[in-house]
């Protein structure tokens, strides 16, 4: 009798363990998630490196409301996959008032915790499509810049007065305003609430929690987060906010990676030791940097072609110390934003891109080598869009250039055959190694 009871108890225990394991893994297997081991990305037992792109407007395109175009979305994803691009950096919505100058429209979060359900359904649809296609996404949850809200929206909601608009009030006024964010507890709390709402979401298309989605490579704290002031109190508050946000994500979702969205030392008031500290936090899984040769005055309007060799040298000089820091931390490094204008500062799709192509090819070769960076996302994907205006107007097709920038200046379009050939060749070389 005792033996029978013991066997019965053992069967119950085995069943409980199996159910627990099944519940933990959900529909996705552990091998479907991107992980970090010994300073490299892995999917299962295979090293993962990638040439990806920025596609911030994907959830809007995937929606059935204003701005939505699922037929275009399907064509865009088809073309990206045809060229070996399977990693997309995507914004989880805009925040703030509708109709603001130089701002995303439609807006996802129109008031604290008040969401446009049509856009959330668009995000769900996009993620379901990426799962079906075995593509990966990095989802960023905030923004230091005005074009999607973020810092400025949370501060306005927290009672800090009307947020300045850079195109109207100037950049100094804007940056002076948003420097309050990292020291404003009520604004930060609103951002934490948004993080919790999104990371804990259940996908309405697949029926699965986002924490089980194999399409998510990483959650990201913000796009280009900054302290916006070079003093110890401000920088300490900035670092603490980054870590607190990362901890909240990890508590909800232990399956996926977490990253910062940082520009590198350029986004840490030129304090590379601050960047290193933040990226050494155990809650942060890999390093992030951005590169903008024109915006950072490495090249000018007249030297977009003649100055590209110099821009490549400066790029390596910028990347190298960040790479060395991540090697010491045994974490990968991703160059997740880099852009380069079209020749002669043109905006039209299909217009010459000699300087850009040379810079792209050089950056992609660094991923192929694998000794400095482990992946990259170029800025950005314009695909089949045909901009109607130089600066985006509500109703125009989306490119990856934000509303405050010339539409097409930094975007890669379907007509950019030479650029696509470079992307495709390097992406396929990486995938076969």
> Of 421 and 347, which is predicted with more confidence?
421
Kindly report, residue by residue over 73-94, the tens digit of the pLDDT: 999 999 999 999 999 999 998 9
Percent pLDDT > 70 in the chain is: 93
The whole-angstrom separation of Cα 126 and Cα 260 is: 22
Cβ neighbours for 407, distance < 8 A, ≥ 6 positions apart: 347, 385, 387, 389, 390, 391, 392, 396, 399, 401
- Is the Cβ–Cβ distance between 239 and 158 less than 8 Å? no
Kindly report, residue by residue over 89-133, the tens digit of the pLDDT: 999 989 999 999 889 999 999 999 999 999 999 999 999 999 999
Is residue 26 predicted with pLDDT exceeding 50? no
217 sits in which H/E element: strand 216-220
* Position 6 confidence tier, pLDDT thresholds 50, 70, 90: very low
Q: Find the radius of gyration of the CA atoms of the chain.
A: 22
Other C-beta atoms closer than 10 Å to the C-beta of 354 total: 13
Over residues 33-37, mean pLDDT: 98
Exposure string over 6-25, b if 16+ CB within 10 A, otherwise e: eeeeeeeeeeeeeeeeeeee
Q: C-alpha angle with apex 140: 203 to 411, nearest 5 degrees?
A: 110
Give the model's pLDDT for residue 20.
Answer: 37
Give the model's pLDDT for residue 350.
Answer: 87
Over residues 311-315, mean pLDDT: 98
Across the chain, what does the average pLDDT equal?
92
Query: CA of 241: how far to CAs of 227, 312, 355, in Å?
Result: 10, 33, 38
Residue 174, SS3 per DSSP: helix
CA nearest neighbour of 317 among 293, 337, 294, 300: 293
**What is the value of pTM for the model shown?**
0.92
Q: In the chain, count of helices (H) and strands (E)?
A: 13, 15
Give the model's pLDDT for residue 9.
Answer: 40
CA nearest neighbour of 163 among 176, 153, 148: 153
Kindly report, residue by residue over 381-426, the tens digit of the pLDDT: 999 999 888 888 888 999 999 998 999 999 999 999 999 999 999 9
Percent pLDDT > 90 in the chain is: 86
* Position 1 confidence tier, pLDDT thresholds 50, 70, 90: very low
Cβ neighbours for 134, distance < 8 A, ≥ 6 positions apart: 86, 214
- Is the Cβ–Cβ distance between 332 and 47 less than 8 Å? no
Say what the alpha-carbon torsion angle 425, 428, 429, 433 is, to the nearest 10 degrees.
180
Exposure string over 38-56, b if 16+ CB within 10 A, otherwise e: eebbbbeeeebbbbbbbbb
| DSSP summary character for residue 253 | -
Kindly report, residue by residue over 201-241, the tens digit of the pLDDT: 999 999 999 999 999 999 999 999 999 999 999 999 999 99
Residue 341, SS3 per DSSP: coil
Give the model's pLDDT for residue 401.
Answer: 94
Kindly report, residue by residue over 172-183, the tens digit of the pLDDT: 999 999 999 999
Is residue 326 predicted with pLDDT exceeding 60? yes
Q: For residue 424, what are the β-bridge partners?
A: none
* Position 432 confidence tier, pLDDT thresholds 50, 70, 90: low
Give the model's pLDDT for residue 2.
Answer: 35
Give the model's pLDDT for residue 153.
Answer: 98
Give the model's pLDDT for residue 394.
Answer: 87
Over residues 265-287, mean pLDDT: 98
Is residue 12 predicted with pLDDT exceeding 90? no
Of 359-368, 408-417, 424-433, the poorest mean pLDDT is in: 424-433
Is residue 15 predicted with pLDDT exceeding 60? no
């Amino acid at each position: 009798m005792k033996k029978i009871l013991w066997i019965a108890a053992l069967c119950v225990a085995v069943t409980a363990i199996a159910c627990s394991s099944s519940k933990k893994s959900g529909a996705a297997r552990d091998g479907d998630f991107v992980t970090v081991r010994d300073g490299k990305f892995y999917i299962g037992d295979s090293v993962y490196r990638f040439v990806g792109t920025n596609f911030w407007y994907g959830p809007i395109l995937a929606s059935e409301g204003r701005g939505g175009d699922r037929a275009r979305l399907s064509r865009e994803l088809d073309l990206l996959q045809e060229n070996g691009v399977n990693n997309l950096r995507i914004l989880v919505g805009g925040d703030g008032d509708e109709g603001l100058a130089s701002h995303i429209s439609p807006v996802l979060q129109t008031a604290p915790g008040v969401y446009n359900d049509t856009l959330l359904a668009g995000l769900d649809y996009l993620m379901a499509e990426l799962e079906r296609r075995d593509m990966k996404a990095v989802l960023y949850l905030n923004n230091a810049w005005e074009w999607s809200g973020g810092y400025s929206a949370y501060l306005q909601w927290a009672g800090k007065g009307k947020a300045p608009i850079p195109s109207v009030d100037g950049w100094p006024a804007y940056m002076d305003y948003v420097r309050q964010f990292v020291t404003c507890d009520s604004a930060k709390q609103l951002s934490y609430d948004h993080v919790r709402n999104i990371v804990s979401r259940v996908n309405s298309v697949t029926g699965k929690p986002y924490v089980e989605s194999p399409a998510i490579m990483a959650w990201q704290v913000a796009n280009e987060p900054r302290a916006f002031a070079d003093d110890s109190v401000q920088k300490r508050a900035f670092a603490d906010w980054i870590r607190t946000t990362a901890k909240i994500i990890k508590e909800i979702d232990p399956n996926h990676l977490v990253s910062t969205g940082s520009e590198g030392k350029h986004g840490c008031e030129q304090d590379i030791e601050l960047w290193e500290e933040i990226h050494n936090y155990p809650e942060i899984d890999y390093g992030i940097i951005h590169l903008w040769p024109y915006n950072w005055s490495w090249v000018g309007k007249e030297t977009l072609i003649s100055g590209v060799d110099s821009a490549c040298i400066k790029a390596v000089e910028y990347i190298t110390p960040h790479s060395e820091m991540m090697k010491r931390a045994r974490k990968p490094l991703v160059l997740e934003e880099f852009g380069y204008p079209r020749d002669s500062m043109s905006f039209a799709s299909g217009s010459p891109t000699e300087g850009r192509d040379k810079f792209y090819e050089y950056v992609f070769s660094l991923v192929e080598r694998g000794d400095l960076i482990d992946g990259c996302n170029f800025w950005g994907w314009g695909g089949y869009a045909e901009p109607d205006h130089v600066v985006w107007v509500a109703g125009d097709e989306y490119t990856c250039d934000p509303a405050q920038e010339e539409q097409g200046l930094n975007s890669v379009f379907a007509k950019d055959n030479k650029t696509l050939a470079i992307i495709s060749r390097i992406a396929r070389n990486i995938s076969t190694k």
